[in-house]
Amino acid sequence: MLAQTPEPPYVAVIFSSHRTDVDHDGYTAAASRMDELAAQQAGYLGVESARSPDGFGITVSYWETEADAIAWRAVAEHAAIQRIGRERWYAAYRVRVAVVHRGVAWQRDRNEG
């Protein structure tokens, strides 16, 4: 599902990763919990995520300000899951933080073919 973001500017935290083949159930449960927990944080705007069958994934979380994104990084439960991710679930990852200056949205009319 596409995140419903406001008019820019806002912050995007882009998490690109490649998963290991270890503990799929644990990873799925932790990812679901992180989605729930992030949504409770000040400044949270939404998230978009996709993963390919080869284990490559990308998750983009949106925040009102960079300070909000930094605060999310520091949440104790999130930090604990990050440690487990490095130990078990990820072969590699990168985090990039960007300010969104412009956005365009389009949606097909539901009555169109």
Global pTM value: 0.91
What does each of the 113 residues of the chain score in pLDDT, given as a tens digit?
A: 899 999 999 999 999 999 999 999 999 999 999 999 999 999 999 999 999 999 999 999 999 999 999 999 999 999 999 999 999 999 999 999 999 999 999 999 887 76
What per-residue string of b and e applies to 13-52 under the rule 16 or more CB within 10 Å gives b?
bebebebeeeeeeebeebbeebeeebeeeebbbbbeeeee
Q: Which class is domain 10-100? A: alpha beta
Residue with tokens 């644990």: 26
CA angle centred on 57, ends 55 and 62, rounded to 5°: 165
Alpha-carbon separation of residue 21 from 26, 77, 78, 97 (angstroms)? 11, 23, 21, 27
